[in-house]
Structure 1
Amino acid sequence: MTKLVPVIMGSRSDHNTEHNKKLYAALDRYGLPFEPRVASAHKHPSYLAQMIAETDARTGLSVVYITIAGRSDGLSGTVAANTVNPVIACPPYSDKFAGLPVLSTVYTPSMSAPMYVQDPENAALAAAKIFSMSDKELRARLVRDIIEMQGKIEEDDMNLLKKPQPRQG
């Protein structure tokens, strides 16, 4: 089955941000095809619903949506309420409200359950893990990545033990 990650943004200005560049690079790294899209839950909800329906109706397609919207982020909950496919809400960081996450992404109504992942690279990883449930090659790649990360941690620890440490106390 062909995989697809529609990356739905609240506005065109979100497309070339550092946040999205990190997301796109991570999706590429996992070999996940993606489609950048623009839709608004507040300004044109019928277009958003149509976009989701058309994407979900494509046969032979396994879909994980990633939504990128700040401010009130009505987008993520609306996408989740209109699809049975997984939705990962990955709003960009903002200094507004002392850096608190978009609360409407974190607290959603019942039957609208987007998964909140702040870091764009981790959002891509979450999508890869979802797809790996039915893709043995992707699953093996993720296992290799985990083993490599664990090996690096062990190596860093061993290297630190070999060096004289400053005295404590």
Structure 2
Amino acid sequence: MITLKVNGQDHQVDADPDTPLLYVLRNDLELNAAKFGCGLGQCGSCTVIVDGKAVQSCVTPLVLLAGKQVTTLEGLGTLAAPAPIQRAFIEEQAAQCGYCIAGMMMRAQALLMRNPKPTDAQIRAELEPNLCRCGTHMRILRAVHRAARLMDTADAASDRSVR
């Protein structure tokens, strides 16, 4: 048995330590936002956040995750209360087929956690490992900037309520 901390909850998983995280997320935990794309860590559709860093779950074995926090798209927000990154992607209509979008959002979320006001160049560099064939790149770029503004507004509101 392996204990994984996913979206703030501990999960006991009966899997080989070399099993890729993606398989456990989808098959055992029924968290299906991360997609199987290439299985080689080359497309980014399986991207999740591990301890604040974007990682490709299709090539990340469970053995490397002991004591680490894994966050999937399902852990960011809900349908009723989407996280700023989710809301921004919806408002900018950044998804077309939707296959790559969860990975794009997770990689963008990791960037915004490190850098709350990224430039276009920084966003493009961060999202480069994730492939999208639909051509919504400009909408995705706008969505990341919108999410940054939404997060800044939320932080400012939070600061005011503490005083």
Q: Which one has a larger percent helix, Structure 1 or Structure 2?
A: 1
**What TM-score, normalized to structure 1?**
0.30
Q: Greater CA radius of gyration, 1 or 2? A: 1
**What TM-score, normalized to structure 2?**
0.30
